[in-house]
A and B are shown apart, each in its own frame.
Chain A
Amino acid sequence: MKKNILSILAILLIIVLLTPPAKAIIDYPNPSDAAQSGIQAIMSLFGFDQDAVTNAAKTFNVAGQKNQQPQVSLTFTPSNPALGQKISAIAQPVYFMNDSKDLYFTWYLKHDGGNKDHNKDGHIDIEDYKIEAARIIASNDFSWDKADYSTSSDDDGYDAVFGGDDQRGKSEHCFYHDVESGHEFEIECEHLFPSDNIDGESLGDGSFGRAEEKFWHTDPNNSDTAGTGNTDESNVIGLGINQFTWNYTPGDRVGVAVEGISTTPAQTNDSSYKTMWALLKNKCSAFDDDVDDALDDFSNTVGTESGTTTTTSTTTTDTNIPDLTPDPGNTDIQETVVETTTTTVTDVLAFTQTVTTVTETTITVYDGADVAKEGTPISGPTTTTTTTIEDNSFSTSEDLNDCLTENFIDPVEGGTTNKIEVSLNAIPTEPINDKTGENSDQLIVHASTANVDNANYLKYAWEVFEADSPNPESWGDPLIKSDLPEVKQTSGIGLSTFKMKMAMESPKKYLKVKVTVTETTASNTTREGHNDIIVPVSSTNKSIHVYSALAKDNLTLEPILNMERCKSGMEKLICPVFKNEIVSISVPGLFSNILWTLDNKPLGPIDSDCSSNECDSHTGEAKNTTYFPILKGNGERYLLNFSATNDDGEKINLSKTFEVVDPNIKIISDFQFTNSDPKALCTEAYNTCPMLLGYYIDLDDIHWPDYSATSFESVVGKPISFRPTLVLPEPPTNQWHIDDVPIFKGIENIFGATIDENNVLTFTPAKIAGQTYLVSYTSVYVQSRNIKKILNKSFNVQLDKFSDKKLSASAEITMVDSLDKSLSAQKPTPKKILATLVADVPDYFNFLFRIILTVGLFLFISRILLAQFPKTN
Chain B
Amino acid sequence: MSYNLLIQWKEELMSALIILVCLVLAFVFPANGLLQQFTSTLVFLLILPILYIKLILKKPFSFFGFSLKNKDVGFLWGGIMLAISLLTAFLLITFTSLKTNYFLSPEIMNNFWIFLVYELIFVNSIFFMYEFFFKGFVLFSFIKKFSYWSILFSVLFYATVSTINSGMKWQLAPALILSITGNIVAYKSRSFIYSYLMGLLFLIFFDAYLIYILN
Contacts and interface: CB of A to CB of B under 8 A. Distances in A.
Contact of B7 (A858, A863, A865, A870): A870
Interface stretch (B26-34, B60-68, B191-199): B26-34
A859 B33 contact: no
Given A851-B29, A858-B21, A859-B56, A869 B10 contact: yes
A872 B17 contact: no
Given A858-B18, A862-B18, 13 more contacts: A837-B35, A844-B35, A844-B36, A848-B39, A851-B29, A855-B44, A859-B55, A862-B52, A862-B56, A863-B55, A865-B14, A869-B7, A872-B7
Nearest to A871: B7
Interface string B106-128: 00000000000000000000000
Nearest to B47: A855
A755 to B, nearest CB: 29
A862 B51 CA distance: 11
Nearest to B25: A854
A855 B39 contact: no
B189 interface: no
Given A855-B43, A859-B52, A862-B14, A840 B21 contact: no
B2 interface: no
Contacts of B181: none
B6 interface: yes
Contact of A851 (B10, B40, B56): B40
B43 A847 contact: no
A754 to B, nearest CB: 31
Nearest to B55: A859
A737 to B, nearest CB: 19
How large, as a class, is the contact surface on chain B? Answer: 20 to 34
Contact of B43 (A843, A851, A865): A851
Contact of A847 (B18, B21, B39, B55): B39
Of A837, A848, A862, most B-chain CB atoms within 10 Å: A862
B48 interface: yes
Contacts of A870: 7
B132 to A, nearest CB: 16
B10 A866 contact: yes
Contacts of A866: 10, 14, 56
20 contacts: A840-B33, A840-B35, A843-B32, A847-B30, A847-B36, A851-B43, A854-B25, A854-B29, A855-B51, A858-B18, A858-B48, A859-B52, A859-B55, A859-B56, A862-B18, A863-B55, A865-B14, A866-B56, A870-B7, A872-B7
Contacts of A854: 25, 29
Nearest to B48: A855
B8 interface: yes
B49 to A, nearest CB: 10
A836 B52 CA distance: 35
Contacts of B6: 869
Contacts of B32: 843, 847
A575 B56 CA distance: 57
A848 B36 CA distance: 8
A855 B43 CA distance: 8
Interface residues of A, number: 19
A529 to B, nearest CB: 51
B87 to A, nearest CB: 41
Nearest to A867: B56
A863 B56 contact: yes
B21 to A, nearest CB: 6
A840 B37 CA distance: 14
Interface of B: 6-8, 10, 14, 17-18, 21, 25, 29-33, 35-36, 39-40, 43-44, 47-48, 51-52, 55-56
A441 to B, nearest CB: 44
A855 B17 CA distance: 14
A859 B51 contact: yes
The 9 closest A-B pairs by CB, nearest first: A869-B10, A847-B36, A855-B48, A851-B43, A862-B56, A869-B7, A863-B56, A859-B51, A858-B21
Contacts of A862: 14, 17-18, 52, 56
A870 B52 CA distance: 18
A567 to B, nearest CB: 31
A855 B47 CA distance: 9
Contacts of A869: 6-7, 10
A657 B90 CA distance: 54
A851 B39 contact: yes
Nearest to B37: A847
B19 to A, nearest CB: 11
B35 A872 contact: no
A869 B56 CA distance: 13
A848 B39 CA distance: 8
A859 B39 CA distance: 18
A870 B7 CA distance: 7
Nearest to B7: A869
A425 B39 CA distance: 65
B14 A872 contact: no
Contacts of A872: 7-8, 10
Contacts of A848: 39
A851 B10 CA distance: 26
Nearest to A836: B33
Interface in A829-873: 837, 840, 843-844, 847-848, 850-851, 854-855, 858-859, 862-863, 865-866, 869-870, 872
B40 to A, nearest CB: 7
Contacts of B8: 872
Contacts of B14: 862, 865-866
Nearest to A855: B48
B55 to A, nearest CB: 6
Contacts of A863: 55-56
A39 B21 CA distance: 134
A865 B33 CA distance: 34
Nearest to A851: B43
Contacts of B51: 855, 859
Contacts of A840: 33, 35
A788 B25 CA distance: 41
Nearest to B10: A869
A863 B14 CA distance: 10
Contacts of A837: 35
A858 B52 CA distance: 9
A847 B32 CA distance: 9
Nearest to A837: B35
Nearest to B18: A862
A96 B171 CA distance: 88
Contacts of B39: 844, 847-848, 851
Nearest to B35: A844
A844 B37 CA distance: 11
A191 to B, nearest CB: 82
B200 to A, nearest CB: 27
A855 B50 CA distance: 11
A865 to B, nearest CB: 6
Contacts of B56: 859, 862-863, 866
Contacts of A850: 30
A287 B136 CA distance: 119
A870 B3 CA distance: 11
A694 to B, nearest CB: 15
A848 B31 CA distance: 10
A869 B31 CA distance: 36
Nearest to A863: B56
A843 B33 CA distance: 11
A221 to B, nearest CB: 70
Contacts of B35: 837, 840, 844
A869 B18 CA distance: 17
A257 B48 CA distance: 109
